[in-house]
Structure 1
Amino acid sequence: MAAVFDKPSLFKRAAPLFEGFDGPLAFAVFLLVCAGLLIMYSSGYDHGTRFVDHGRNMLIAGAIMFVVAQIPPQRLMTFAVPLYTVGVMLLIAVAIFGITKKGARRWLNVGVVVQPSEILKIAMPLMLAWWFQKREGQLRPLDFLVAGVLLVVPVGLIMRQPDLGTSLLVLAAGLAVIFFAGLSWKLIAPPVMIGLLGIFLIVWFEPQLCADGMRWPVLHDYQQQRICTLLDPSRDPLGKGFHIIQGMIAIGSGGVLGKGFMAGTQTHLEFIPERTTDFIFAAFSEEFGLVGNLLLIASFIFLVLRGLAIAMEAPTLFSRLLAGAVTMIFFTYAFVNMGMVSGILPVVGVPLPFISYGGTAMVTLGLAVGILMSIAKAKRLVQS
């Protein structure tokens, strides 16, 4: 008599792939994705294929997240040194024979045009987390110095391109790892105080520092102009100050409840520059107002807090440091973007996570969420 075996359903075969996925993290990402699709349709439906492309980018990021989530943190650690090395070598190649667009040399043609600095957003925290994992239990001041060198090299190469926005993101991710690894507050406080003093002095002496003909050392001309424009957008209201002024007008005109979905005049009359990318927060603010902004900010806070909770519960030092740094990437993205659109930070090319249009940034975000999911799964496997 032939035995009959029931073939498992597709759902039962696929179920193990989803085991251990962090529900609260997935919910936070889902809220932001919904907000992104909503405002992208409003601000980009008449902007070529932006909305369709944005949806496609989200699907690609989701697929990358799913694949990365299946990789255990121990396996992720093996990619740290090769990925960091390749990233730095590509940055050196960009400095030597990279492609220049709009005065910036940021791209490299390797059969396809790539932007190597994007690799370092993930490679940097991976490398530093690997370094501190190897030094666990025997950390010395020299180890933090080596970590600083590992961080400064790619950040310096990215700033030379010049690309202030990406260099800030890579720097923030690296500093987060070093801080979570146990850097003493005695070493953190002095540079923070010097930075705050520098900001105060720049604001106080703004008329002299931003006078015509004044040249700042270290910074490029366009970076100096961004800071001066931030301090006084009315210096060039139809030129360099136009972005900040129009962004603040859009945010203020939204009021408490906003003008309504697809009813933003600043957006649809094209007063907001880059309304689907860097300045999409202004478009969102105009249509959904203060209430919408508070809900959006609450979603980002929920995402960051959940990421930090995953980091605290991670089973290894490598996992804790990596999860903490990846979470701070989301925070830095959101804080810098909202700050520059609101006129409290200089305008730099940093997108709003899951909201702004951009394929490369979306892939990076998918990788970051996948890493957090992988670490959350590892924690649950250890507990079981």
Structure 2
Amino acid sequence: MNTSVISRAPNQSVSLADRLIRVHIDLWLMLLLLVLGVVGLLVQYSASGHSMAVVLNQAERLGIGFAVMIVAAQAPPEFYRAAAPWLYGFGVVMLVAVLVLGDHAKGAQRWLDLGVLRFQPSEILKLAMPMAVAAWLHTRTLPPKISTILITLAIIGGPTVLIAMQPDLGTAMLVLAAGVLALYFGGLGIRWILMVIAAMAAAAPLLWLKLHDYQKNRVLTFLDPERDPLGTGYHITQSKIAIGSGGLFGKGWLAGTQAKLDFLPESHTDFIFAVYSEELGLLGEAVLMALYAAIVGRGLYIALRGQDSFQRLLAGSLAMTFFIYVFINMGMVIGLLPVVGVPLPLVSFGGTSAVTLLAGFGMLMSVYTHRKLLSN
């Protein structure tokens, strides 16, 4: 039996792409993510008032994230399929522990302090959810039967409710989307999607009663930002001013005023897209959206190249969840969605979300590069 993966003549050169495949790195996806990371650092420098400390801090976090991505890419997809139920179960246990033992901060209970480590267990579910749903559907007939759909919805709903109770609606929406997207790619019919939407609409009055006061204010501000322009509507009002003042070409990098003069709150985190838009204008926004679209497109291409249902469902869900990140952040910054605290991927300041996202891209690379080795 020939045990070699790729055979070549002694004098045949080895291309860069082949070398990267051997270490399980997708060159195109890596380059796109590196470009996005550099863009994020440049915007951070401007949004932070030219603070190199902030830039270096974010660069360190991105470095950790890229290291995690490379390590995650080395494990074969079969490893993630086997680990899926264990990671999912661990994540659910940690979410329950947060409700009992979690640290309180700013009216929320989202963090778990283990002494040597303080982390947010809901981040685990951003990866564990698509893995668990993809692994579950992999062993079932697709398109899924009614019983399979109901069990899958229970798998998705449990952690989503636990995260919403913290409360953390932004992360709950992302975890819900990751699971539902995997189910959708598994063949969920449009009838079920319409039924879920109808059920959510019917439950809206009950959900409204369960919302905290600040969450209700966010929804009301979304419906009418001018109702309290100096209070709950201040963020979105200043964000729209920043975006509109950028015009077609923008004011130029480092020339924005809304963040520099402290008119724009959370300028280096949730509302960093407003800083970017003010300085680079509509054309700059188009370039950034094209970059995000290229990353999502590469992820969907990898999903199409998956060798089994688990790989295709996992890769498709991870790629589209990344798109949901972008859609929610940009939507809330321009006033099309309520403010729910979702960062702009790899551009907003933050380490936990960046590491989680890049770990997911490591899984995407694993699906693609391991497949190429097998096919060769």
Partner of 2:185: 180
Give the partner amino acid of 2:125: L
Distance of 1:48 and 1:348 partners within structure 2: 28
The partner residue of 1:39 within 37, 43, 46 is 43
- Give the deviation of 1:365 after TM superposition: 1.2
Give the partner amino acid of 2:280: F
Give the partner amino acid of 1:87: G
Partner of 1:4: none
Partner of 1:51: 55
Partner of 2:210: 218
The partner residue of 1:27 within 14, 23, 31 is 31
What SS does the aligned partner of 1:108 have? strand
Q: Is contact 1:315–1:378 with CA below 8 Å preserved after alignment? A: no
- Give the deviation of 1:349 after TM superposition: 1.1
Distance of 2:121 and 2:166 partners within structure 1: 11
Give the partner amino acid of 2:175: V
Report how many residues are paired: 359
- Give the deviation of 1:137 after TM superposition: 5.8
Which has the higher mean CA deviation after the structures are superposed, 48-57 or 76-85? Answer: 48-57
The partner residue of 1:236 within 228, 236, 256 is 228
Q: Is contact 2:24–2:73 with CA below 8 Å preserved after alignment? A: no
Partner of 1:337: 329
Partner of 1:253: 245
What SS does the aligned partner of 2:210 have? coil
The partner residue of 2:313 within 314, 321, 328 is 321
- Give the deviation of 1:218 after TM superposition: 2.9
Give the partner amino acid of 1:53: N
Structure 1: which 5+ residue stretches go unaligned? 1-10, 203-208, 210-214
Q: Is contact 2:305–2:312 with CA below 8 Å preserved after alignment? A: yes
Find out whether 1:274 has 2:266 as its counterpart: yes
Partner of 1:3: none
- Give the deviation of 1:265 after TM superposition: 0.6
What SS does the aligned partner of 1:174 have? helix
The partner residue of 1:159 within 159, 164, 188 is 164
Relative to structure 1, the CA distance from residue 191 to residue 75 in structure 2 (aligned partners, 3 Å threshold; closer, same or farther) is closer
- Give the deviation of 1:63 after TM superposition: 0.4
The partner residue of 1:95 within 91, 95, 99 is 99
Matches within 5 A, 1:106-121: 106-111=110-115, 112-121=117-126
Structure 1 residues 305-327: Cα deviation after superposition (integer angstroms, max 9, x where no partner): 11111101100111000001101
Distance of 1:192 and 1:163 partners within structure 2: 21
- Give the deviation of 1:236 after TM superposition: 1.1
- Give the deviation of 1:18 after TM superposition: 5.0
Structure 1 residues 23-63: Cα deviation after superposition (integer angstroms, max 9, x where no partner): 33223212211211111111125457211111101111110
Distance of 2:20 and 2:273 partners within structure 1: 38
- Give the deviation of 1:143 after TM superposition: 1.1
Partner of 1:140: 145
Distance of 1:274 and 1:81 partners within structure 2: 37
Distance of 2:182 and 2:126 partners within structure 1: 12
Q: Is contact 2:303–2:316 with CA below 8 Å preserved after alignment? A: yes
Give the partner amino acid of 1:373: M
- Give the deviation of 1:219 after TM superposition: 2.2
What SS does the aligned partner of 1:79 have? helix
Tell me how large the CA RMSD over aligned residues is.
2.3
- Give the deviation of 1:191 after TM superposition: 3.5
Runs of 4+ in structure 1 over 6 Å off:
none
What SS does the aligned partner of 2:109 have? strand
Relative to structure 1, the CA distance from residue 16 to residue 284 in structure 2 (aligned partners, 3 Å threshold; closer, same or farther) is closer
What SS does the aligned partner of 1:225 have? helix
Distance of 1:138 and 1:338 partners within structure 2: 33
Relative to structure 1, the CA distance from residue 360 to residue 225 in structure 2 (aligned partners, 3 Å threshold; closer, same or farther) is same
The partner residue of 2:89 within 85, 89, 94 is 85
Relative to structure 1, the CA distance from residue 137 to residue 252 in structure 2 (aligned partners, 3 Å threshold; closer, same or farther) is closer
Give the partner amino acid of 1:98: G
Q: TM-score, normalised by structure 2?
A: 0.90
Relative to structure 1, the CA distance from residue 194 to residue 255 in structure 2 (aligned partners, 3 Å threshold; closer, same or farther) is farther
Distance of 1:242 and 1:45 partners within structure 2: 21
What SS does the aligned partner of 1:106 have? strand
What SS does the aligned partner of 2:259 have? helix
Distance of 2:19 and 2:299 partners within structure 1: 24
Partner of 1:370: 362
Which has the higher mean CA deviation after the structures are superposed, 323-332 or 17-26? Answer: 17-26
Distance of 1:103 and 1:109 partners within structure 2: 17
- Give the deviation of 1:113 after TM superposition: 1.4
Structure 1 residues 278-319: Cα deviation after superposition (integer angstroms, max 9, x where no partner): 000000000000000000011111111111111011001110
Percent identity between matched residues is 45
Structure 2: which 5+ residue stretches go unaligned? 1-14
What SS does the aligned partner of 2:312 have? helix
- Give the deviation of 1:193 after TM superposition: 5.8
